[in-house]
């Protein structure tokens, strides 16, 4: 008992000393959630919760993933966004290491690059301490619509909002975004145009840039067509990239392939099997068919992919970029 009492006194003294330090005490840590998604991951919200947060110099923010889809938290300090593809002399295309791995930190003073690197998976986090008053925007390097703001006040300035207030507003914003995403998902279906030569189905890969929403599905999860019909997948999402990839009997290729180096972290390369369209214009019942990467804007690239189905069967395909989100579809072809 005497020992326990002594420990209690020490703890009490410790708290007294800590409080007495005033401005020299370490700053507090705030929390921002990165992304949100529906339970089936079909709806991804590319946002930060809260979108704007006000802290004091010396405070830290821990950014924690709230969705399955990858994101970054990147302070560019006015510099240009790094390109997401670096063509190499040997023909390979590298995924930039300054996007893949954390940069700068653990503190940020408004200058230079500070970035989380790729945050992959629920609960992954990155913490940064803000040392200088200012208004700083940050963004996700993968999703152009995803932008947040940190306002840093001089140390000791009263805070305009508590974490609990931010959390409450964030819950509301998240619920609204997911409801809008669910509505977009219900409204998004493949459409059909019939003609003598067969039916042309158009399957949209939809999103809503203003609402920071993407559907990680192909319009209709299952599409029933007849032999001779054509399916055209159309990229209609300015915030994303996708592929349409039928693996055939082989394994689904990886999107990014890691190449270990003798020292340091691995290099990452886009899999050439995914970059290059493959298989031609008609799906003949087996084999590998691939759209290549469908980019809407950065850089401008193909935005649609068509396949005519010439054999009966059930064919499942994937977006190889978004396998963890379950982005797959099935075409059932009958005579
Ligand atoms: Cu995708």
Least confident of 19-28, 83-92, 190-199: 19-28
How many angstroms is it from 70 CA to the middle of ligand 1? 12
Q: Under a CB-based contact definition with an 8 Å cutoff, are residues 137 and 149 in contact?
A: yes
Residue 57 scores a pLDDT above 90:
yes
Last residue of a domain, one of 163, 183, 203: 183
Strands 29-37 and 60-65: parallel
Q: Under a CB-based contact definition with an 8 Å cutoff, are residues 225 and 309 in contact?
A: yes
Q: 59: domain range?
A: 26-183
195 assigned to some structural domain: yes
How many angstroms is it from 327 CA to the middle of ligand 1? 6
21 assigned to some structural domain: no
How many angstroms is it from 106 CA to the middle of ligand 1? 32
The pLDDT of residue 26 is 77
Whole-number Å distance between alpha carbons of 6 and 10: 6
The pLDDT of residue 294 is 94
| pLDDT bracket for residue 16 (50, 70, 90) | very low
| Domain at 113, CATH number | 2.60.40.420
pLDDT, tens only, 78-111 = 999 998 999 999 999 999 999 999 999 799 999 9
Place of tokens 């079909």: 42
How many angstroms is it from 36 CA to the middle of ligand 1? 16
The pLDDT of residue 25 is 57
How many angstroms is it from 166 CA to the middle of ligand 1? 31
pLDDT, tens only, 128-169 = 999 999 999 999 999 999 999 999 999 999 999 999 999 999
Last residue of a domain, one of 183, 199, 224: 183
How many angstroms is it from 143 CA to the middle of ligand 1? 12
Q: CB under 8 Å to 282, separation ≥6 — which residues? A: 307, 308, 309, 310
How many angstroms is it from 116 CA to the middle of ligand 1? 22
121 assigned to some structural domain: yes
Verify that 33 and 177 share a domain, yes or no: yes
The pLDDT of residue 20 is 36
Query: Would you give the DSSP letter of residue 168?
Result: H
Q: Reduce the DSSP state of residue 23 to 3 states and report it.
A: helix
Verify that 195 and 104 share a domain, yes or no: no
How many angstroms is it from 147 CA to the middle of ligand 1? 21
pLDDT, tens only, 206-264 = 999 999 999 999 999 999 999 999 999 999 898 899 999 999 989 999 999 999 999 98
How many angstroms is it from 318 CA to the middle of ligand 1? 8
Q: How many CB atoms lie within 10 A of CB 166?
A: 21
How many angstroms is it from 132 CA to the middle of ligand 1? 39
108 assigned to some structural domain: yes
How many angstroms is it from 218 CA to the middle of ligand 1? 9
How many angstroms is it from 11 CA to the middle of ligand 1? 53
């Amino acid at each position: 008992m005497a020992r326990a009492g002594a420990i209690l006194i020490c703890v009490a003294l410790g708290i007294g000393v800590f409080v007495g330090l005033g401005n020299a005490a370490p700053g507090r840590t705030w929390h921002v959630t990165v992304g949100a998604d529906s339970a089936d991951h079909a709806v991804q919200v590319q946002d930060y919760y809260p979108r704007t947060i006000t802290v004091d110099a010396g405070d830290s923010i821990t950014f924690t993933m709230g969705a399955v889809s990858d994101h970054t938290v990147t302070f560019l300090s006015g510099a240009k966004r790094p390109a997401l593809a670096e063509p190499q002399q040997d023909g390979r295309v590298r995924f930039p290491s300054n996007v893949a791995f954390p940069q700068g930190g653990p503190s940020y003073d408004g200058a230079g690059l500070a970035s989380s690197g790729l945050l992959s998976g629920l609960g992954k986090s990155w913490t940064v301490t803000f040392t200088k008053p200012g208004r700083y925007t940050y963004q996700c390097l993968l999703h152009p619509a995803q932008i947040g703001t940190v306002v840093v006040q001089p140390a000791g300035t009263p805070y305009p909002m508590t974490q609990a207030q931010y959390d409450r507003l964030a819950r509301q914003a998240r619920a609204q975004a997911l409801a809008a995403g669910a509505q977009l998902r219900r409204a998004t279906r493949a459409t059909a145009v019939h003609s003598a030569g067969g039916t042309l189905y158009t399957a949209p890969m939809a999103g809503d840039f203003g609402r920071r929403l993407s559907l990680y599905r192909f319009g209709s999860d299952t599409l029933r067509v007849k032999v001779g019909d054509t399916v055209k997948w159309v990229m209609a999402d300015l915030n994303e990239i996708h592929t349409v990839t039928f693996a055939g009997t082989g394994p689904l290729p990886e999107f990014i392939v890691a190449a270990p180096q003798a020292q340091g972290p691995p290099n990452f390369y886009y899999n050439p099997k995914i970059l290059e369209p493959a298989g031609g214009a008609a799906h003949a019942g087996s084999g590998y068919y691939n759209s290549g990467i469908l980019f809407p804007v950065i850089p401008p690239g193909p935005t649609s992919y068509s396949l005519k189905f010439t054999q009966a069967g059930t064919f499942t395909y994937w977006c190889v970029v978004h396998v963890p989100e379950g982005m797959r579809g099935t075409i059932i072809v009958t005579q």
